[in-house]
Structure 1
């Protein structure tokens, strides 16, 4: 018996997300605008009221899980979804504009891209600069204030958000992914646990011939920091950036990237960024690194 795929499988991973998840789920029907779709939420061991809120819903399937990481949760949500043409990855602290998903899907089909990213705004309506360039040695410091692409990973120029174009990668709060692309890449790399998984996925997709395209025709709002950032999550973010760079460029260049990262975090710590000191110690002493990353076997994280 032939199974007809649905248009879109929406997948969400929650972790202590009771402040936001209802707004996201409430925004989905209008955002789909007549498309056939499913919603699967994987909860990574929330200890707040997230599960109680989800259990009261009838518009999503809820999968209880221990916290195996964001990428693992996303992969599980996709596996538990019906057969589909495209996968809509959503952070629980995002909301979608009406008819956003058909607009994303039209770009996905027309361009043959693997990933499409929408125009995202902050809570106050300001543009959220979600587009990014590939990591390089020159961009390790995040020198956005220079405005020079050579030194800037984050794309700040407002004009870049007015037109449809290909990008290296985009922040993964709201992304529509071709289901074949997701399957052929084997989903997200679960070794990152948290942070850099969308960077890795988009860059691997590009390697395989699947572009990431930005479109201003679809809109969404993202609160950002919905699960908060602690010293540990900041450390995970920085370590994963080093791991990603090493995996894509090799050990020698990664040592340079690592050294620059240490210097940058020391500078940030001396300027008063309290989360940077624990990161410095974790970079220099692998035994202090979060065990969830499994990156404590060598100074240069693998």
Structure 2
């Protein structure tokens, strides 16, 4: 029996992440105990000393300096391109902290027949469960979210995209996709599905990859036996990032469905964001304006559009 440890390419995309890196890198040795691993960091032109921090904290890490803010998918692809031979790719956000033995458990789950992606149970910085599992986007699920709210709708498979029934997080199960902060991808899945779609600058890239894997018969499998902490980003409070997230939902759904369904999905999102805008929610106000502007739906959003939206909110 071959007892050679499996090899994992640990991929992290940084953008002004200097303050987060010490705790992330400190969590890697216990989180990857019993596994051969190599850290590859793709830096999206950070203005802080993210690159220097990686080199000080993990001198044998490979650092790929992108030279621009190329986005999450582009960073992942560039990092994997610099990896040597691997049995799996572990994609991590800089604000993730692995718990001991996390990756070894995920590797076991990845061996389940028909599995291409394994994801752990995540908790936030306060120890609260994060609802990471997702169902495939649909018109009915957007309407359920609009009428009932994401948490309530998510208790019903037909009505919510986010899986919010906490009993669903107590046992191993298959999800359509999962949030992309902590994702282990088998080498087979990576090679069959191909690179992440770089046209999604941020948000929906993990949805696209997991749904393409699902189309190919490779499931995303969740296990509560592996755990990590995700401090989480600010898409829920930043109007500019929420707008980007919303527009990318429309773009992804439109690529996977016919024009009529795409129009219905767009209309459902206009209803959802518009109703919240009326209630005074700033992220939804900006998202609604973008949804009803044809030029915003045609463009491929990038860092310039995020900065432009942020400036509008700030009144500059």
Say whether the fold is shared (TM-score over 0.5).
Answer: yes
Residues 142-153 of structure 1 aligned to structure 2 (within 5 Å): 142=145, 143=149, 144-146=151-153, 147-153=155-161
For residues 227 and 246 of structure 1, do their structure 2 counterparts lie closer, same or farther at Cα, with a shift above 3 Å needed? Answer: closer
Partner of 1:97: 99
Question: Contact conserved, 1:14 with 1:92, CA < 8 A, in 2?
Answer: yes
Distance in 1, matches of 2:298 and 2:84, equals 35
Shift of 1:182: 1.0
Distance in 1, matches of 2:132 and 2:280, equals 26
Distance in 2, matches of 1:129 and 1:45, equals 31
Question: Contact conserved, 1:6 with 1:83, CA < 8 A, in 2?
Answer: no
Distance in 2, matches of 1:186 and 1:5, equals 25
Q: CA RMSD in A?
A: 2.0
- Per-residue CA deviations over 1:93-148 (Å, capped at 9, x if unaligned) read 10100011110001111334100010111111111110111111111142332432
Distance in 1, matches of 2:126 and 2:212, equals 34
**Unmatched tracts of structure 2, length 5 or more:** 303-316
For residues 267 and 133 of structure 1, do their structure 2 counterparts lie closer, same or farther at Cα, with a shift above 3 Å needed? Answer: same
The answer to which of 25-34 and 221-230 deviates more is 221-230
For residues 59 and 95 of structure 1, do their structure 2 counterparts lie closer, same or farther at Cα, with a shift above 3 Å needed? Answer: farther
Segments of 4+ moved more than 6 angstroms: none
Distance in 2, matches of 1:94 and 1:148, equals 29
Structure (1/2) with the larger helix percentage: 2
Partner of 1:64: 65
Partner of 1:298: none
Distance in 2, matches of 1:229 and 1:84, equals 37
Distance in 2, matches of 1:289 and 1:230, equals 19
- Per-residue CA deviations over 1:224-269 (Å, capped at 9, x if unaligned) read 1068863222111001111111111111111011111112111111
Partner of 1:17: 17
Partner of 1:33: 33
Question: Contact conserved, 2:235 with 2:241, CA < 8 A, in 1?
Answer: no
Partner of 1:251: 259
Aligned length: 291
For the pair 1:190 / 2:198, whether they are aligned, the reply is yes
Normalised by the size of structure 2, how large is the TM-score?
A: 0.87
Partner of 1:211: 219
Partner of 2:139: 137
Partner of 1:128: 130
Distance in 2, matches of 1:228 and 1:162, equals 26
SS in 2 for 1:150: coil
Distance in 2, matches of 1:288 and 1:242, equals 11
Normalised by the size of structure 1, how large is the TM-score?
A: 0.91
**Unmatched tracts of structure 1, length 5 or more:** 295-302
SS in 1 for 2:91: strand
